[in-house]
């Protein structure tokens, strides 16, 4: 009998090890050249992507996202989503529709066939002439042309400022659950494959560019740093001046272990720059790009970015990239900002100092929950927005005894409480906020942004605080650090998060994780 139980134990250990060893994810290596026409508000580019099949499956096609087509007309999933949201206050279409065309796919240099998706014009199936076997790779290439819309969602232009996001043909994720080919939506974000990006961006010489990755064009980088240091020290801003007006310049960026690439260009950006020493041997560059007539609190943006990186690095795991950046963009009625790897767009023109710090911290924090821990935001938005909000609220409580949701409603005597007591009172109020849908609801399960925000952001944060109260903050932090260490640059699922919490806490957390499916208040 003892031998039987010993064999069972050994079998269980081996099964667990095999399950961990069997994890796989696909890999992409991008090489993109793109040029901005600032008069026609358009991009012309060439994409080449090496697609490596690390799966155990033979692939006969690859789904691609063509997200600029979401802006093309009133019949896209994106336009229908905006029209159906009765709380939505912004336009559902632009007077200058966006789109992507001029695609001519090749595979390993040979013309390739494609099949359009009958339901969504922002997806396309690339048919492989030869099956892609496990462990093999191929190179996919295509030219492309993008017409940018007026800025009212994520990508677009506003005057002479360009927000270039979700702009290139992108392979959909293929994981153990199959293909994740879905249309662009304003509410509910993304899921993308990790890899490397080498991107050459050509713009008129007068423009300042901020982008994912590190700027490889050394003279331009030196100039940004010189101007940025001056602006970080002085009240009067020094603006960027080109030595070749009327000409064009090409800037090269490179990034590794990332799953998306965004860039921003403006003629009037005020560059600020400093460095942040995370460890004795690890110093990163910190840039911000502000508006000449923007929010007065933006003068503190570098300080806010640095403080956010310090806190999240301490709580969750060290920031792994060589640069972190934030861009002050035009007002966006749907959000205060939008995150991308190594760079975030902040669209909060009326934010006071504490609010600006909070929104920058939230968006910079997405480098961890979205950028590094690449969960599926369309299916499990709480793993990104909710966990990030939990840490944002901790940041606000520690630094200001404030909360961006309750704001001025917090009485002065509550602000005088110790950190833990203050947070308990805050969450006491947040737990009373009506939240009908379960935390586990997919992004597409919400009909409006209000419900989405209450459930995905607030209800998840209160759930995390409930576990913190039960398990202890030190246990939560240790579990998150272990989760981060094991799952950085991968695609964790809810069960992976649960497993890490259980292993670190030594507790069965079935009861707590069952709350993810609970309707109404927790």
What are the binding residues for Zn(2+)?
A: 362, 366, 385
Residue 390 Cα distances to 136, 466, 497, angstroms: 41, 11, 15
Instruction: Give the annotated binding-site residues.
Output: 362, 366, 385
CB 244 within 8 A of CB 288: no
Coil, helix or strand at residue 410: coil
| Residue among 249, 238, 380, 356 nearest 304 (CA) | 356
Cα gap 494→152, rounded to integer Å: 32
Token pair belonging to 497: 């998060």
State the first-to-last Cα distance of the chain, in angstroms, to the nearest integer. 45
Cα gap 401→418, rounded to integer Å: 9
- What kind and span of H or E run contains 199? strand 195-204
**Catalytic residue check, 457:** yes
**Catalytic residue check, 428:** no
- Give Rg (Cα) of the chain: 23
Which residues neighbour 77 within 8 Å (Cβ) at sequence distance 6 or greater? 70, 120, 122, 183, 184, 185
Place of tokens 């905006």: 82
Catalytic residue among 206, 355, 363, 396: 363
Catalytic residue among 457, 483, 500, 512: 457
The DSSP call for residue 379 is: T
Sign (positive or negative) of CA dihedral 71, 154, 106, 115: negative
CB 325 within 8 A of CB 298: no
Coil, helix or strand at residue 353: helix
Active site residues: 363, 457
């Amino acid at each position: 009998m003892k031998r039987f139980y010993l064999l069972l134990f050994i079998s269980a250990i081996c099964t667990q090890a095999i399950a961990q060893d069997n994890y796989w994810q696909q890999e992409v290596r991008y090489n993109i050249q793109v040029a901005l026409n600032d008069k026609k508000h358009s991009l012309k580019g060439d994409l080449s992507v090496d697609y490596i099949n690390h799966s155990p499956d033979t692939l006969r096609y690859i789904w691609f996202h063509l997200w600029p087509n979401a802006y093309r007309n009133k019949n896209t999933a994106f336009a229908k989503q905006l029209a159906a949201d009765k709380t939505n206050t912004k336009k559902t279409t632009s007077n200058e529709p966006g789109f992507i065309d001029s695609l001519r796919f090749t595979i390993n240099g040979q013309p390739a066939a494609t099949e359009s998706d009958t339901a969504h014009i922002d997806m396309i199936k690339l048919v492989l002439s030869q099956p892609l076997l496990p462990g093999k790779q191929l190179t996919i290439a295509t030219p492309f042309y993008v017409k940018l819309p007026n800025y009212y969602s994520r990508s677009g232009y506003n005057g002479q400022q360009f927000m270039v996001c979700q702009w290139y043909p992108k392979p959909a994720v293929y994981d153990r659950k199959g293909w994740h080919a879905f249309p662009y939506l304003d509410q509910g974000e993304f899921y993308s494959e990790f890899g490397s990006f080498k991107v050459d961006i050509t713009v008129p010489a007068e423009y300042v560019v901020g982008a994912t990755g590190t700027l490889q064009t050394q003279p331009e980088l030196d100039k940004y740093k010189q101007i940025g240091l001056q602006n970080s020290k002085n009240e009067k801003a020094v603006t960027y001046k080109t030595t070749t007006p009327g000409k064009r310049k090409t800037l090269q960026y490179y990034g590794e272990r990332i799953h998306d690439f965004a860039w921003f260009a403006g003629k009037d950006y005020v560059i600020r720059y400093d460095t942040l020493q995370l460890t004795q041997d690890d110093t990163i560059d910190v840039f911000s790009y502000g508006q000449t007539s923007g929010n007065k609190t933006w003068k503190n943006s570098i300080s806010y970015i640095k403080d956010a990186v310090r806190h999240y690095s301490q709580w969750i795991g060290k920031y792994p990239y060589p640069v972190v950046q934030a861009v002050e963009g035009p007002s966006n009625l749907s959000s205060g900002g939008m995150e991308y790897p190594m760079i975030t767009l902040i669209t909060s023109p009326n934010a006071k100092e504490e609010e600006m710090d909070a929104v920058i911290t939230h968006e910079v924090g997405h480098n961890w929950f979205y950028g590094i821990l690449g969960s599926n935001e369309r299916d499990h938005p709480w793993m990104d927005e909710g966990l990030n909000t939990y840490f944002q609220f901790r940041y606000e409580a520690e630094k200001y005894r404030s909360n961006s949701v309750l704001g001025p409603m917090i009485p002065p005597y509550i602000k005088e409480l110790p950190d833990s007591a203050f947070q308990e009172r805050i969450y006491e109020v947040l737990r009373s906020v009506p939240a009908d849908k379960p935390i586990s609801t997919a992004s597409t399960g919400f009909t409006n942004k209000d419900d989405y925000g209450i459930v995905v952001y607030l209800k998840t944060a209160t759930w995390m605080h409930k576990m913190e109260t039960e398990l202890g903050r030190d246990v939560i932090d240790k579990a998150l650090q272990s989760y981060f260490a094991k799952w950085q640059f991968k695609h964790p699922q809810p069960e992976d998060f649960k497993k890490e919490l259980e292993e670190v806490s030594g507790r069965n957390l079935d009861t707590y994780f069952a709350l993810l499916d609970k309707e109404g208040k927790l």
